[in-house]
Amino acid sequence: MAYTKDISLITLLMAKNYTERYVEDHQGIAASAKVGTLTIGTTWSGTDPFTQSVTTSYTTTDKTVVDIQPDPTIVEQLVKDGVSQIIIKNDNGALTAYAFGAKPSTSLTISVLYSEVTT
- Domain encompassing residue 55: 2-118
Q: In this predicted model, which residue has the larger pLDDT, 65 or 26? A: 65
18, pLDDT greater than 80: no
- Number of domains observed in the structure of the chain: 1
What are the pLDDT digits (tens) for 47-61? 999 999 998 878 778
The residue that leads in pLDDT, 12 or 104, is 104
Decide if pLDDT at 6 tops 80.
Answer: no
**85-106 pLDDT tens trace:** 999 998 888 899 999 999 999 9
Question: Three-state secondary structure along the chain?
Answer: CHHHHHHHHHHHHHHHHHHHHHHHHCCCCEEEEEEEEEEECCCCECCCCEEEEECCCCCCCCCEEEEEECCHHHHHHHHHHCCCEEEEEEECCEEEEEEECCCCCCCEEEEEEEEEEEC
